[in-house]
Structure 1
Amino acid sequence: MRTHGMRLDPVLIQAAIAAALSFAHLHDLAAAAGQDGWKAWAYPISVDLLLVAAWRQLRSGTAKAAGWCWFVVALVASLGANVATAGLLDLGDVPAWLRILVAGWPAVAFLGGTLLAHGTPDVDEAPVPDQDEASAPPVTPAVPELPASDPQPVAPPAAAPVPPALVALARKVADDYRTRTGTDIDTPTLRTRLGVPLPLAEAIAAQLA
C-alpha cells in the first residue's frame, strides 16, 4: 500500500513562526511588567484568542462593528508588545503606565470575549428566512365575499308625451277607419296613416283605447 507523505504548506509555516514570535514577545512584556509565573504565559494566549474571536466574528458577517473594534484592540496589543520588545523599551525598568495597561488587560479581554460571544446582530442586517419558510408557497389573503344584492326591478320607460292636437287627429283617423271598415284601427295602420315612429304610435293608440 502506497502512502503519501505530509505536504508542508509554506503559509501555515509562516503563520506558525509569526504566532510563536508574537507569543514570545507578549510573554516577555508581561513578565517585565510584573506578571510572573503562569500569568506571563496566559497573556499571549488571551491576546491571540481575542484576535481570533474577533476575526471569526467578522467572517460570520454578524455584529461587524463589534468585530472590528475588538480586532483592532487585540492587534494593537500584539503589535505593541512586538515593538516594545524590539529594544525601544528597557524591559528592566518598565514605566508605570505600561504596567497599568498590562495589569488591566484581563478585564478588557474578558469584556471583549463576552461581547463577541453574546453580541446582537447589526440592525441593518435582515434575518435569513428558514429553509422551510423560504420553500413554502406564498399565502394568498382570502378576499371576503360580498353579499349578493337583490336585483332591483327596472321600471318601464315612460311613454312619450303626445301633443293633444296629434291625439285629436289620430282619433279622427280612427273614427274614419271604423266607419269604412267596421273595425278598430290597429297600431301599424295608425302609424302609417299618421307617419309617426312606432313608439309614438303605440302611445297614441293607448290614449285612444
Structure 2
Amino acid sequence: MFRTLRLDAVLIQAVIAGALSFAHLHDLAAAAGQDGWKAWAYPVSVDLLLVAAWRRMRTDAENRDAWLWFAIALVASLGANVATAGLLDLQEVPAWLRILVAGWPALAFLGGTLLAHAPAPTPVRETEPTDQPHVELAPDVTVERAPELAPELLPADPAPQSAPPEPAPIPPAVSVPPALLDHAQKIADAHQAQTGAPIDTATLRSRLGIPPALADAIATQLT
C-alpha cells in the first residue's frame, strides 16, 4: 500500500534553503581553487557536520562540543552564502579564504569523529517512592504470663510462744491456685525456720495480702 506524499510548506522551504546553501558552498569552493568533484564535496561535508552536531545536541543537550561544532558548521554555511552574494570577488579570492577552504576537510573530519565517538549520557532511573515503609513482621510468638504473686514481706517480729488457734472450716467454694499455694508453703517454711513455730492464719494473710477466706483455705492445705 503506497503512502500519499503530502506537500508541507516547511519541507519545501527546507529543500529550497538547502539547495541554495549547497550551491553557494560549491561556488565558493570552486572559486578557492577546488574544482571538479572536490567542489561538490564541500557542501556535503558542511551539511553532514551540521546534521551530526544536531543529532548529538538532541541526545545530550548539555554537550558543549556538539554546540561548538554546530556553530562552526553554521558559520561556514552562512559565510559562503554572504561571500557569494556580491561582497566577495570570486575572481580574486584572498589567500586567507583559500587557506580556510583547503583546511576545512581536516577540520570537518575532526569534528565528525569527536561527535561520533562521544560517550552517550547514561539515563538515571528514579526509584518510585513507596507510600508505606517496609516493615518486617516478626513471627507470632505466644507468651504465657505467669500469675502475679504478692511480694514477700519482711519477716515480722516473732510471735509469742502460744498454741496456734484451730482453723475454722473452709467453705468448699474457695479454690486455691497451685502457684499461690506453693508460694504460701515457702513463706510458712521460712516462718517456722525462723520462729520454730508454725505460721498462723493472720500472719499468713498479712504476708500474702489476701482475703481471710482464702487465707483460711491455704492454711488448711499447708503441710
Deviation, 1:34, is: 1.3
**How far apart, CA to CA, are the structure 2 residues paired with 1:189 and 1:62?**
95
1:90-129 superposed matches below 5 A: 90-122=89-121, 126-127=123-124
2:77 is aligned with 1:78: yes
Give yes or no for contact 1:30–1:102 (8 Å, CA) kept in 2. yes
Deviation, 1:50, is: 0.7
Write the letter of the residue equivalent to 1:111.
L
Deviation, 1:190, is: 3.0
Alignment RMSD? 3.7
Correspondence for 1:15: 14
Write the letter of the residue equivalent to 1:198.
L
Structure 1 stretches of 5 or more lacking a match? 135-142, 144-156, 200-209
Structure 1 pair 5–161 and aligned structure 2 pair: CA distance change class (3 A): closer
1:142-181 superposed matches below 5 A: 160-162=153-155, 166-167=157-158, 170=159, 172=160, 175-178=161-164
Deviation, 1:198, is: 2.7
* Matched length: 164
Counterpart secondary structure, 1:7: coil
State the identity %.
60
Deviation, 1:24, is: 0.7
Write the letter of the residue equivalent to 1:43.
Y
Counterpart secondary structure, 1:94: coil
**How far apart, CA to CA, are the structure 1 residues paired with 2:4 and 2:154?**
115
Deviation, 1:51, is: 0.6
Per-residue CA deviation, residues 51-70 of structure 1 (Å, 9 max, x unaligned), is 11111222233663222121
Per-residue CA deviation, residues 16-56 of structure 1 (Å, 9 max, x unaligned), is 11111101110111111111111111000100111111112
Give yes or no for contact 1:54–1:71 (8 Å, CA) kept in 2. yes
**How far apart, CA to CA, are the structure 2 residues paired with 1:7 and 1:176?**
126
Q: TM-score, normalised by structure 2?
A: 0.60
Write the letter of the residue equivalent to 1:51.
L
Write the letter of the residue equivalent to 1:85.
T
Correspondence for 1:60: 59
Per-residue CA deviation, residues 120-158 of structure 1 (Å, 9 max, x unaligned), is 135xx53469xxxx9xxxxxxxx9xxxxxxxxxxxxx99
Give yes or no for contact 1:70–1:112 (8 Å, CA) kept in 2. yes
**How far apart, CA to CA, are the structure 1 residues paired with 2:31 and 2:40?**
12
Structure 1 pair 57–75 and aligned structure 2 pair: CA distance change class (3 A): same
Write the letter of the residue equivalent to 2:202.
T
Give yes or no for contact 1:63–1:120 (8 Å, CA) kept in 2. no
Write the letter of the residue equivalent to 2:64.
A
